Amino acid sequence: MTAQRHLTPGTGTAALRVVPTLPVMIRVQIAIRLFMVQSAWNYELLLGNGVGFCIEPALRLLPGGKGGPAYREALARESQYFNAHPYLAAVAVGALAKAELELAQPARIERFRTALCGPLGSVGDRLVWAGWLPFCSLLALAAYGLGAGPIAVLLLFLGLYNVGHVGLRAWGLSVGWRNGMRVAGALATPVLREGPAHLARAAALVAGIALPLALGRAIGPGRAVLGGVVLIVALMGTLAARLPVWLQGWRLALGVLAIWIAYSLATYTVAR
């Protein structure tokens, strides 16, 4: 345990409060639980119960220990409605654990908790779902197109993606715990502000390389067929980009494949 001096948030008066550093075992428990933060995702609490589940080991350090009044109040508070990107929920978990152990005012914790939802959701979606994931996926497709085997493709994709994934969760927990309710400043890091745009440009470059290469390998030898497919893909891709949101490409693909299968079966019947 180490002592830290700070102002008790919300009181406006200087106060002393001993804030324990997180013991390694509790930090590890929280880190493992973060991988399960969405296990009970539902339309009522969204990630809320998951956040309470992840913070729970830290709350055992509250006065009265596990099961004490402070522990129960904090766990109930942290298990209410919450929404964020699952990886960046680590920031909230770290910061909220710190705030609870600092014995910050409950109303202030709740306001802080609510304020975290929006930024951690939108930044995570742009950085991970619209940036890092497509980038890694397209890189794996490029490796496939260049002739890599199953093990190489899987190792490349899973290795690269999870360096970013696990790193982001670890960084989030660390920065959240270090900054507590002052974590907003830490979220202004260039990685989160400018990273999505840089990633999108890199992914666009890789996409341009990967699509023809992967197409070439998947089709196999034969220039005439390949050239025809490239033209069709360019044309259909342009149309697919203009599809209304409700008519997603996978629905269209399912329909076209169904027609193609029906045609192929009919061809056999007619030939007989």
Tell which positions 17-76 bind other proteins, by CB under 8 A. Answer: 35-36, 38-46, 49-50, 52-53, 56, 66-67, 71-76
* Paired tokens of 180: 């507590």
Q: Which is nearer to other proteins, 52 or 180 (CB)?
A: 52
Residues between 107 and 146 with contacts to other proteins, criterion CB under 8 A: 121, 125, 129-130, 133-134, 136-138, 140-141, 144-146
Interatomic CA distance for residues 8 and 100, integer angstroms: 11
Residues between 181 and 220 with contacts to other proteins, criterion CB under 8 A: 196-197, 200-220
Contacts of 249 (CB under 8 A, 6+ apart): 240, 243
Residue 243 touching other proteins (CB under 8 A): yes
CB of 2 to other proteins, least distance (A): 27
CB of 178 to other proteins, least distance (A): 24
Closest by alpha carbon to 99, among 54, 48, 58, 68? 58
CB of 50 to other proteins, least distance (A): 6
Residue 170 touching other proteins (CB under 8 A): no
Which whole-number Å values give the CA distances from 212 to 138, 141, 156, 226, in the listed order? Answer: 11, 10, 19, 10
* Paired tokens of 220: 């196999």
SS3 252: helix
* Paired tokens of 223: 């220039």
Residue 172 touching other proteins (CB under 8 A): no
